Amino acid sequence: MRTLLVTLVFALILVPSLPAEEDAWALHAQSDLSNDGKTGLSEVYLPLGLEQPPSVPEHHVQWTWWPWSAETGSDWPDDDALYRASIRNVSLNSTLNEVVVENHVLPEVEAVALSGKVKVVSAEDRVRMVAFDISITPLENLSNHTILYVVLTENVAEDQHRRQAKNLVREMRPEVAFSVKANNTTDLVSMLPADHLDAAGVHLEETPTGWSYSVAVFGSEEENDTHPRLLALAHGDLPSPSIHAGLDQAWTPLLLSAITAVIVVSIVVAVRQREQAIPKLKATWSGGHATSATITIQAGLHDFSITKWHVSPPWQFKGRPPRQSLSAGGSKTIEVEFRKPSEQDCHIEVAIEIEDYGAWKQHLWLKAAGNEKRVHQEEE
């Protein structure tokens, strides 16, 4: 790495006339994480008709969730909204047409210290993405179920039907790869990759402004593992390149460009390697029966094993599915039986161990009324 850095620095110094657009990697904007004076977080689940404006406390960050794209044909993303409602046990009903608001207040005594930077970067394909360099320090021992979320919201969103919503959540990523022990600091990088942003309708090169970010930690004290709450929050405007930059500001200093290039390359390579190592699990109802599901397992580039299965009530397994181990690139299909059907969606949690990457979780979502599925992943 040291040789690469020295070589890159000398190359940039000796060829100062090389145009900026030919750099393989670029840092477009960055800023420090900020709490922006906010005292809490309000999660707003919009009704299908959008008739009722949400009411949230002053000085709260707002996450607006839209869970009705399948019902309305909207191009707003709804996967994260359905997933968030599931893990928060929020009941959604398309016929009630009522706003559902869940308020979270920051603790009076700081429980978790957050610091770092949020960056807009791009790789060789020039498509922009968001990277969070985060330092997280619990100030007391926390539950193992503590989760950090990075979230990108659009200040004013409009779908193809001209519906409008404020602070709409476009993309969310959970992270649990940090220490939960008091006074242990973990430095981590969390990415909102370009392909995920594109699928969520986010194009930062075309529209660099009008976005906000949040970094939120949900969890509880070590001895209180059943009541997760908001422990820390950072929020601010997503940084964007200034449209008023002068000619003398248009060129990044050469040494900083070299260091940035190495950092961005390292971040993107690490993220891509991690995503290629993750196995893919897919679930569908078997033969139209809501008491049997077919689960297809495709290993990534690393060996992995399934260590535990769990299904959320009222669903119950009819004989717990067996533990499985697959070599890199292997695939397998298994059948999972349930005791009886239910009108509620079926949410299966699968604990896995990936060689060289440790413990992860995957979530399989089977719609009760059909075979549409949603899959979410959380690293432990």
Our CA angle for 324, 328, 334, nearest 5°, is 35
In whole angstroms, give the CA distance from residue 73 to residue 302: 38
Which pLDDT band, with edges at 50, 70 and 90, does 78 fall under? very high
Sign of CA dihedral 31, 37, 40, 44: negative
Q: What is the pLDDT of residues 33-42, one digit of tens each?
A: 997 789 999 9
- E strands along 270-319, which residues? 280-286, 289-298, 304-311
Q: What is the pLDDT of residues 216-265, one digit of tens each?
A: 999 999 888 777 899 999 999 999 986 434 444 445 555 666 677 778 77
Domain ranges of the chain: 8-16+22-36+106-276, 278-379
Arithmetic mean of pLDDT, 277-290: 80
pTM for this entry: 0.61
The architecture CATH gives domain 278-379: Sandwich (2.60)
CATH topology agreement for domains 8-16+22-36+106-276 and 278-379: yes
Which pLDDT band, with edges at 50, 70 and 90, does 107 fall under? very high
Are 204 and 120 a contacting pair, CB within 8 Å?
yes
> Domain 8-16+22-36+106-276 belongs to what topology?
Immunoglobulin-like (2.60.40)
Arithmetic mean of pLDDT, 7-36: 60
User: In this predicted structure, what is the pLDDT of residue 66?
Assistant: 94
Query: Which range, 169-178, 303-312, 341-350, is most confident?
Result: 169-178
In whole angstroms, give the CA distance from residue 379 to residue 323: 19
Are 155 and 136 a contacting pair, CB within 8 Å?
no
